[in-house]
Amino acid sequence: RMIMAPMTRSRSDPTEHKANELMAQQYSQRASAGLIITECTMVSPKTSSFFAEPGIYEDAQIEGWKKVTDAVHSAGGKIVLQIWHGGRTCPTDYNGQQPVAPSAITNPMPYHSATKGANTQYDEPRALTDDEAKAIVQDFAAAAKRAIAAGFDGIEIHAANGYLINQFLVPQSNKRGSDSHYSGESIETRARF
């Protein structure tokens, strides 16, 4: 037995971001691996980075995930939900709003856009207020509770690869001053998020 690492498949509905039958089939076919870690799943609305990745930011999304967890459990597997927030990697054309980040620093790497094609430049993010950052922390907690309600065996918090938590942790993308609870001036304050 082994662990199946998260792999973003972008197979959910791109407007409602609900898990669906295709996803239930995909994950259940891999249940014999032992433990499956799902693809990144949005904790907040309007934070899509991959166009059609799933969400767990509202109760209406629980039912689709229940189909997935039931299918995996019926096939003898265990499944963990990976939760995340893309931060500055959430394109405006996917979400209808400017992305957010610890600081207004654009991701310098181009990406392949589902709507604009290869080598698309990221949009400039807007810096979160401390209150907005605290609200996103609560979004993570609420998403974890929904994941439990959907039947997941555990939760993995995605804190790497240049997404929001990682953006708070590294000084290259967190330039918040000492007046912020999440200041970029020390690892202690950067890690508060």
Q: Which residues are catalytic?
A: 163
Q: Is the dihedral of CA 111, 114, 116, 118 positive or negative?
A: positive
d(CA 6, CA 114): 20
Judge contact between 163 and 193, C-beta under 8 A: no
Judge contact between 50 and 8, C-beta under 8 A: yes
User: CA geometry: angle at 21 spanning 96 and 154, to 5°?
Assistant: 80
